[in-house]
Chain A
Amino acid sequence: MPSLDVRTRPNGQARTRRGRPALSEVGTEPDYRFSLANERTFLAWNRTALALLAAGLAVANLLPRFGFPHTRLIVSLALIGLGAWLAFLSYPAWEAKERAMREGRPLPSFRAPRVVAIGVGLVSVLAAVGVIIHRGT
């Protein structure tokens, strides 16, 4: 069954939607354990995205209002936005790593860990400030 992600050009070379050569056309097949590890990493990032979505939903629907107006909404949307961004980024990251492994290049850098750490840190500070002000009033 042909891949839905791949289109065949008139010259017979398969291309992805972005015009790059399809993964199966690039380099050589890496050790399958590396591909499986890459797949597990993809799934782990998606689980992180789901955890951020769950946290955002919980903040929006379960917590009482914070001291500042709209603090709860801002915290909730920040968590959900971070989760959506991670899910959006997970597939290109998987593909870039798979392509690099097939071509024998070093794995590309991935900025998500830094952004997630900074994002969760900022949200935590915002939530803590909200809780302190709410307790003080």
Chain B
Amino acid sequence: MSTPEPLGGAASGETIPDGAFHSNQSKADDDRGMARERTRLAWHRTGLSLLAVGVGVLRAVTVSRTPVMVAAAVVGLGALMSGWALLLAARGATGRLPHSVAGPPTLRRVAVCIEAMAVAAAVLALFPLAG
């Protein structure tokens, strides 16, 4: 990997000089926080997508399930979105540091949440009128 491509595409106008790939030094002067900001926005977009799918699951549950399941789905979605908001708040608090990249446990939890959502969606698709 000799010469890395510029990050962020033409919109950001960032370029990375040769040999910068393994630099441990902060590139905050070049970057001006744009990469962190784009990443934070990506987290927000993903949270909104999660909320949209969660509302879809909730709607499907509301139409065809029992009140207990509806209450469980509401509580589950509320807990999930609260956790997401707390995660973003914690990331915002450390956002000034150069190493504000989410660690493996956080990313793994995000993937597991979406897999759980997929299981719920599959169950609702398989049994749309049960309850």
Q: How many A-B residue pairs have CB under 8 A?
A: 153
Q: A131 at interface (Cβ–Cβ under 8 A)?
A: no
Interface of B is mostly: helix
Q: Bound complex: CA of A108 vs CA of B51, how far in Å?
A: 32
How far, in Å, is A40 (CB) from chain B's closest CB?
Answer: 5
Q: Which of B90-131 contact A (CB under 8 A)?
A: 98-99, 101-105, 107-108, 110-111, 114-115, 117-119, 121-122, 124-126, 128
From known contacts A5-B108, A30-B21, infer whether A36 and B126 are also in contact, taking CB-CB under 8 Å. no
Are B42 and A44 closer than 8 Å at their CB atoms? yes
Which A residues are CB-close (under 8 A) to B125? 56-57, 59-61, 73, 76-77, 80
Considering residues A53, A54, A84, A95, which has the most beta carbons from chain B within 10 angstroms of its beta carbon?
A53
How far, in Å, is B51 (CB) from chain A's closest CB?
Answer: 10
Name B's A-contacting residues (CB within 8 A).
1, 4, 7-8, 14, 16, 20-24, 26-27, 31, 35-36, 38-39, 42-43, 45-46, 49-50, 52-53, 56-57, 59-60, 63, 98-99, 101-105, 107-108, 110-111, 114-115, 117-119, 121-122, 124-126, 128
